[in-house]
């Protein structure tokens, strides 16, 4: 069987930056084990599988280790594939997912994702989180992931984390964030339990980051940067119980796989 496969860099308009996601359009679902093997073979932080539906597309996301309920950058990449190859020049596409309906709109070259807010609550910092960070955070919150708030962009950029400690936590990822020097806030994201040591750009983490920083900074429109080696830029807006995440993409590869 031959299947189309695209690799798209999300949250950057420049080659070799942003977060590369694989997108595999299907005519019918493969079994879960096969989709997991494809994601493992691709060895990217996410592989998205999309399937036409009556009102858009169904979408599922797999890391090399597991299926996940929500992924921002692979949704951005999937929308770019739909617009360029499947429905040229469409202005909107809707994805049905484990996290509900995810609307995507196109604003010229920018792609706008409509995602649910995932608010976090402040908690006492677990010892293994502190050991993994190697620094004492200002505060620690928890939702889908742990979120550690630090003093400065320089502190986030210079972190040398211990992933073995993060792998012992009761959440599958750790967000580290601080005020930005030239943007509203910066972040990094680590998920060793999902076989993603450090994710280049993490849309789903911003479902928790945006409401936190909107409240702290007293504004709903925010600019964000993820400080991975590849880096990425996000244009964010808090809209009630939804988060709009905007970003650019660039295409790296178009081909097919044989299974």
pTM of the model: 0.91
The alpha carbon of residue 122 and the mean position of all alpha carbons in its chain are separated, in whole angstroms, by 22
- d(C-alpha 170, C-alpha 48), whole Å: 25
How confident is the model at residue 214, as a pLDDT? 98
How confident is the model at residue 72, as a pLDDT? 94
Torsion-angle region of 218 (φ positive above 0: left; ψ -120 to 50: alpha; else: beta): left
Instruction: Give the residue extent of every domain in the chain.
Output: 2-116+245-258, 121-240
With a pLDDT cut of 90, the percent of the chain lying above it is 98
Q: How many CB atoms lie within 10 A of CB 99?
A: 19
Reported as a single tens digit per residue, the pLDDT across 117-138 is 999 999 999 999 999 999 999 9
Sign of CA dihedral 67, 73, 74, 79: positive
Reported as a single tens digit per residue, the pLDDT across 182-224 is 999 999 999 999 999 999 999 999 999 999 999 999 999 999 9
- Identify the three-state secondary structure at position 61: strand
Identical topology for domains 2-116+245-258 and 121-240: yes
For domain 2-116+245-258, the question of CATH label 3.10.310.10 is answered with yes
Per-residue tokens: 170: 């009761």
Q: What are phi and psi of 102, to 5 degrees?
A: -120, 110
Q: How confident is the model at residue 148 (pLDDT cuts 50, 70, 90)?
A: very high
How confident is the model at residue 89, as a pLDDT? 80
Which residues fall within 8 angstroms of residue 27, CB to CB, at 6 or more apart?
51, 52
pLDDT, average across residues 232-255: 97
Reported as a single tens digit per residue, the pLDDT across 219-240 is 999 999 999 999 999 999 999 9
CA dihedral 138, 143, 144, 146 (to 10 degrees): 20
Cβ(238)–Cβ(103) below 8 Å: no
Instruction: Inform me whether the pLDDT recorded for 45 exceeds 90.
Output: yes
- d(C-alpha 82, C-alpha 251), whole Å: 12
Per-residue tokens: 2: 């031959």
Question: Is 46 noted as a catalytic residue in this protein?
Answer: yes
Q: What is the chain's mean pLDDT, rounded?
A: 96
- Identify the three-state secondary structure at position 4: strand
Per-residue tokens: 143: 């939702």
Per-residue tokens: 197: 């040591």
Instruction: Inform me whether the pLDDT recorded for 179 exceeds 90.
Output: yes
Q: Strands (DSSP E) along the chain, which ranges?
A: 2-10, 19-25, 47-53, 56-62, 67-68, 92-97, 100-107, 110-116, 121-122, 139-142, 146-149, 174-179, 185-190, 221-226, 232-239, 242-247, 249-258
Reported as a single tens digit per residue, the pLDDT across 53-84 is 988 999 999 999 999 999 999 999 999 999 99
Q: Which of 46, 144, 153, 198 is catalytic?
A: 46
CATH of 121-240, one of 3.40.50.11440, 3.10.310.10, 3.30.565.10, 3.40.50.12170: 3.10.310.10
């Amino acid at each position: 069987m031959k299947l189309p496969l695209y690799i798209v860099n999300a949250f950057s308009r420049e080659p070799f930056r942003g977060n590369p996601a694989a997108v595999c359009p299907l005519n019918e679902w493969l079994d879960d084990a096969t989709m997991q093997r494809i994601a493992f073979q691709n060895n990217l932080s996410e592989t998205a599988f999309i399937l036409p539906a009556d009102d858009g597309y169904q979408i599922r996301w797999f890391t090399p280790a597991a299926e996940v309920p929500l992924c921002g950058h692979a949704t951005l990449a999937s929308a770019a594939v739909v617009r360029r190859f499947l429905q040229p020049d469409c202005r909107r596409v809707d994805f049905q997912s484990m996290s509900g309906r995810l609307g995507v709109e196109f604003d010229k070259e920018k792609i706008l994702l409509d995602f649910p807010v995932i608010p976090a609550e402040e908690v006492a910092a677990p010892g293994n989180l502190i050991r993994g960070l190697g620094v004492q955070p200002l505060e620690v919150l928890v939702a889908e992931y742990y979120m550690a708030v630090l003093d400065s962009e320089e502190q986030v950029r210079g972190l040398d984390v211990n992933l073995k400690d993060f792998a012992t936590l009761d959440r599958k990822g750790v967000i580290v964030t601080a005020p930005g020097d030239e943007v509203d806030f910066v972040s990094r994201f680590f998920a060793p339990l999902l076989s993603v040591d450090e994710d280049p750009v993490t849309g789903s983490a911003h479902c928790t980051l945006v409401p936190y920083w909107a409240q702290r900074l007293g504004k709903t429109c925010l600019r964000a940067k993820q400080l991975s080696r590849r880096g990425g830029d996000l244009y964010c807006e808090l809209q009630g119980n939804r988060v709009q995440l905007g970003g650019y993409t660039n295409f790296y590869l178009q081909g097919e796989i044989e299974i």
